[in-house]
A and B are shown apart, each in its own frame.
Chain A
Amino acid sequence: MALLCPAQPAAELTPYDVEAAYLYNFGKFVRWPDAPAAATAPFTICILGEDNFGAKLDSLIANETIQGRSIVAKRLSSITTADACQILYLGDSEAPRLAKDIAALQQKSVLTVSSMPDFIQHGGMIGFVLQNKRVRFAVNLPNAERNGLNLSSELLKVAVYVNTKTSPEEKP
């Protein structure tokens, strides 16, 4: 229950805790293209680069399900192993390799999330932002749609910013 207490983050939770919860919750508002083999496989949340969440994320997702699937968290060392991920969090340390990473995920239905500034302007799908000391997020819809992901309007409704136009920067 404590995992879903958005009203109390200022008191006890760090922005990373909130981000961890959001990361897991995004899974409930995004539809991935049907992949029969993946239907029974665990829902995989991957972290590439610097891991700000640590064990918090693991405890968060334990015994939870997304669309009926159990959840696992994986720490990746390279973008090449990101094929099996549903959600990929790119740590701040990946900033230098961002363009390469995004290019590697081309045509792959992986929801990319990051706390890097201007993440969505550089090919990312959901970027965390701090607004009035609260964790919010911005969405680049074309980036998600291009990879076959369908973001629910509910999700878009609470996003601080939704980019609906194809931007020239995100071209490889």
Chain B
Amino acid sequence: MTLFTSRRSIAARLTLMNVLVSGVALLLAYVSFFAFNLLAYRQAAVNSLSGEAQIIGANSVSAIVFNDEASAQTTLSALSNSNDVDAAAIYTQAGTPFAQYVREGNTSLQPQTMPAQTTVMHWADGADIQVASRIMLQGKQVGIVYIQAHLHGLRQQAIRYAAVAGVILLLCLGVAMLVGNIFRRLLAQPIISLAQTARLVSRYRDYSLRFTPSHSYRELASLTEAFNEMLAEIQHRDKALEQGREMLELRVQERTAQLRAANQELESFSYTVAHDLRGPLDTINGINYLIHHADYGSLSVQSREMLDRIGLSVKEMLDLIDDLLNLSRANSVGIHRKTLDLSLLAASVFEEMALAHPERKVETMIHKGCYANADKGLMLIVMQNLLRNAWKFTGRSPGAIIEFGCERKGAEETFFVRDNGAGFDPAMADRLFKPFQRLHAESDFTGTGIGLATVQRIIGRHDGKIWAEGEVGKGATFYFTIGPHEPDAPNP
């Protein structure tokens, strides 16, 4: 419903109400007034006719007693002066017609039966009236006079009343409509402007608006007050909410900055530690190498073994440090994405591993054309870690197969590295990617426990996902995706 029709309906209803109430009241008043007047008019006519009947009766006594119809006729004909009288008749005591008078164009009178104990009687049927009067002579009845009349004045009276009432009704309806308009201005208009204010508030969410009615009524005033109070309450809450949100935002920013600073500090610390650890280790390695080459022959078997163990430990530690540095780098270096052929990358990693472990016989399967938009250095770390993992865990499986490939599911490319090695317990799958968590005994497979954590960080920084499927003794498959590249996305 539009504003226009709703405004109209309020006004129309008010006016209609006024018109109806006044119209009905007027009509009732008029009808009762009219009925009363018509009854009074008829009663007056009846009285007058009764009087005439009695006079005629009195004047006809001798005519009846002495059998003089002509005289009675003359008396009756005096009624010709009464315009309403249609017919009249005198009946004798025996009930036989004695004298008749009929106005031109009317039929003769049909007398009603007069009840006993009455001297004057009348019968009324609308505008038709019959009056009867007994003619008495010294206490004895000698006859009855009847007068039949049609009250022409009644109709005229009714028409006159109807005309007057019509005019008054029209006047009253006009006044009612006028009053209706005033009511609309006084009552409906404030309600409409209240609704308009409410609409403005809800449209522009401006809770500072207030409604000020042009007229004040008790009911409207309380409505206005409630409305404005509601607005004030909303405004107040709005403000508090805004303040709360701003404070929260500020706090979040603060915390984020603190967190980032702490993280950076930690990373640079671990990077420094790892980097600086390499120095002494290189020295130890160098000395070990010199001893190995210069004095190896002069050493006892026991010393040689110990030197070899020192070399192995140093190498393990260097691997650990490399992994730590990778992890650190995975967290901190900037990402420079470009389109990479991961198949090619996988091939180079395999080649490298085959060279390093010529004693291993591993079948490698590489799907061609697996492209990803990612950072080259970081993706190399990913491929190295995953493929080395596969290489490592197939170490005890004869006929080892390692597969790298990709499959498209919808818009997303999923890459995978599959092996038929030792596999893992699926219940432990969520622990795979946590740093320093190992699912196998150090004696079975060597490792630092940092590689997969590093991989997960790198995939995470590429907005991708990584997950693993496997079973103990039945190999493992690592899946990962690379998130879509958003050139404008900030790289922290």
Contact = CB atoms under 8 A, between A and B. Distances in A.
A62 interface: no
A7 B61 contact: no
B93 A137 contact: no
Interface string B76-108: 000000000000000011101010000000000
A7 to B, nearest CB: 5
Contacts of A136: 66, 68
A164 interface: no
Interface residues of B, number: 20
B194 interface: no
A6 B138 contact: no
A25 B66 contact: yes
Given A1-B94, A28-B138, A67-B138, A6 B64 contact: yes
B63 interface: yes
B66 A5 contact: no
A7 B66 contact: no
B26 to A, nearest CB: 55
B348 interface: no
A136 B67 CA distance: 8
A169 interface: no
Contact of A9 (B65, B67, B71, B93): B67
Contacts of A152: 62
Contacts of A7: 67, 92, 94, 96, 98
A155 interface: yes
B66 A158 contact: yes
Interface string A71-97: 000000000000000000000000000
Contacts of A29: 62, 65
Interface string A22-37: 1001001100000000
Interface string B35-68: 0000000000000000000000001011111111
A7 B94 CA distance: 9
B137 interface: yes
A65 interface: yes
Contact of A158 (B62, B137, B139, B142): B62
B163 to A, nearest CB: 47
A129 B61 CA distance: 21
Contacts of A135: 67
A154 B92 CA distance: 17
A25 B66 CA distance: 8
B319 to A, nearest CB: 160
Contacts of A116: none
Contact of B66 (A1, A8, A66, A137): A137
Contacts of B92: 4-7
Given A4-B142, A28-B138, A67-B138, A158 B63 contact: yes
A24 B65 CA distance: 10
Contacts of B62: 29, 152, 154-155, 157-158
B138 A4 contact: no
Interface residues of A, number: 24
A56 interface: no
A45 interface: no
Interface string B424-441: 000000000000000000
A28 B64 CA distance: 13
B61 A154 contact: yes
A46 interface: no
A4 B141 CA distance: 10
Nearest to B98: A7
A22 B66 contact: yes
A147 B354 CA distance: 186
A9 B98 CA distance: 13
A124 to B, nearest CB: 17
A134 B70 CA distance: 13
A157 B71 contact: yes
B34 to A, nearest CB: 44
A66 B62 CA distance: 15
Given A65-B138, A66-B138, A158-B66, A5 B94 contact: yes
A155 B138 CA distance: 14
A29 B64 CA distance: 13
Nearest to B75: A157
A154 B58 CA distance: 9
A111 interface: no
Nearest to A24: B65
Interface string A54-67: 00000000000111
Most chain B Cβ neighbours within 10 Å, of A7, A136, A137, A152: A7
A24 B63 CA distance: 15
Contacts of A1: 93-94
Interface of B: 59, 61-68, 71, 92-94, 96, 98, 137-140, 142
Which 5 pairs between the two chains have the least Cβ-Cβ distance?
A6-B67, A154-B62, A158-B68, A158-B66, A158-B62
27 contacts: A4-B64, A4-B92, A4-B140, A4-B142, A5-B92, A6-B64, A6-B65, A7-B67, A7-B94, A7-B96, A8-B96, A18-B67, A28-B65, A29-B62, A29-B65, A65-B138, A66-B138, A135-B67, A136-B66, A136-B68, A154-B61, A154-B62, A155-B62, A157-B62, A158-B62, A158-B68, A158-B71
